[in-house]
Amino acid sequence: MSALSIKVFGLVLVRDVERLLIALTIFFAAFVLCLPVPPNEDIAQLYPLWANRITIGNILLHELLFICWFLFYGGRSLASFFLTPRYPARQAAICLIILAIWCGIMSLSAPMLEQDIGRTLRLLLNAALLLAAVRWARNSPVHSLLVLVLGFFSGTVINLLISFEYPLIVNGVMRLSGQNTPGVAMAVAIHLSAWLFIRGKRREQLFSLLVVPVFAAACTISFSRIGWFVGAFGLLAWLYVLYFSQPYNPEQRRGIRIIRCCLTPLLIIGLLIAPTTKYGQIAAQWGMGLIEQKGSYDGQGDGERLSYLKGTLEIVSKHPFGVGYSGFYKSYVLTKSYRSPEAAEESSPLEANPHATFLWYASTGGIPAAFISILSFIMLLNSMRVGLKATLSKDGLVLFALIAPGFLLMGLTVPYLFNGTIFIIPIAIAAGWGWLRLSEHPQSVTNT
């Protein structure tokens, strides 16, 4: 074998390894979000290894894979992204980095320094992942989203298998293994599968049609009100994509028309027959039971969230520059809001948080962090809007309008919006699509 052939073979091998690292990073970033969450330690010991998160210390598998990509392939690339003025989501990533550094500094005097350093590093890692995933989506637009949806689907299937093998029955109704995170992730996956359907070709369209009922069924039994809200809007996205969208690609338009003609009669027949069948009636009773239980529980839950809001405002009024991540517990238990009967009981600094992304950073880094977190959220959503509009025109704006309220609700009710991948990677994919479209047809996106 000549020296030239060896060199070419080596380059191909290096590129294949990089593609594999990227695919595995995206896959496991989605996969981990949908895995079952055991209700207690006794049940957790019964779960098989393949149903548990893979971690090394506190580092998740997709984070380890991304670190490997960064060390071997992405170090110079990421550095250049910050110097590219029109690089999508660059300003949002810079805001996330500033937010991470500021909150990290404010956490230096907090009681759990090691834990808080980990939270700071995770936010920095996600800022880097955002920039990297933009380029990945630009270079492989449909494949990146396909791998992401496949990760959600694989985790969902495992969660359903475990949920039925070790059922959690509350007041006669079974619930998914895991409430907020898996349910919300499956709901977001409904939206992303609609994106894949309108953006992909025949094979991706058929895959999307197969996985969306699984996401919808799992989200329904998740007992997550946020998941139900986001999932309902995801089904509206599917309704729009199937019956009102007009993709610019002729092959995609033909595929949608064919599927529309085949699927519509089946949907009508299914809706007419389902209420008369035994399984349809059981499913309806099951769903109504979950809604009734959630309605009776959420009166208490809303009171707890209101007390977190009032308590955070008290903390910020006394500590305008924040108390650090793990300083929330000590400060919150001293507030008037915590002494109210609606407040949730806090047991440790490790678990205590205000259950909202914007409140989380407000208590951690005070007024500056609250401002930066809101600004970062707006910038990230704008990157998604620009990317979807550039790629799908009016269809993209509709899909954005349907998913954006869900992300806003998540920011108001969960603390991990920036520190997780459920928000970061979909943003990056949309931004990467827009970047690709801009490079191919610069005149078509001048007004985005």
For 243-255, what is each residue's pLDDT tens digit? 888 876 776 777 7
Q: Where is average pLDDT lowest: 43-57, 80-94, 139-153, 433-447?
A: 433-447
> Rounded mean pLDDT of 158-163?
93
> Rounded mean pLDDT of 163-182?
80
Q: Per-residue b/e over 144-153, b at no fewer than 16 CB within 10 Å?
A: bbbbbbbbbb
Q: Using CA atoms, how far apart are residues 14 and 242, in angstroms rounded to an integer?
A: 40
Which range in 169-183, 246-260, 292-306 is most confidently predicted, on average pLDDT? Answer: 169-183
pLDDT of residue 10: 46
- Contact partners, residue 13, CB within 8 Å, separation at least 6: none
> Rounded mean pLDDT of 244-270?
73
Q: Is the pLDDT of residue 8 over 80?
A: no
Q: Using CA atoms, how far apart are residues 88 and 91, in angstroms rounded to an integer?
A: 8
More confident residue, 224 or 292: 224
- Is the CA virtual torsion 408, 412, 414, 420 positive or negative? positive
Only one residue has tokens 């809303």, namely: 302
Neighbours of 269 (CB within 10 A): 10
Which range in 12-16, 222-226, 334-338 is most confidently predicted, on average pLDDT? Answer: 334-338
Residue 355: which region, alpha, beta or left (left: phi > 0; alpha: psi -120 to 50)?
left
Q: Using CA atoms, how far apart are residues 425 and 144, in angstroms rounded to an integer?
A: 10
Q: Using CA atoms, how far apart are residues 279 and 403, in angstroms rounded to an integer?
A: 31
Mean pLDDT of the chain: 85
Q: Using CA atoms, how far apart are residues 341 and 59, in angstroms rounded to an integer?
A: 37
Q: Is the pLDDT of residue 288 over 90?
A: no
pLDDT of residue 159: 94
pLDDT of residue 445: 46
Q: Exposed, middle or buried, 104 (CB in 10 Å: 0-12/13-18/19+)? A: buried
> Rounded mean pLDDT of 101-128?
93
> Rounded mean pLDDT of 385-398?
94
Q: Is the pLDDT of residue 350 over 70?
A: yes
Q: Is the pLDDT of residue 271 over 70?
A: no
pLDDT of residue 296: 56
Q: Is the pLDDT of residue 302 over 50?
A: yes
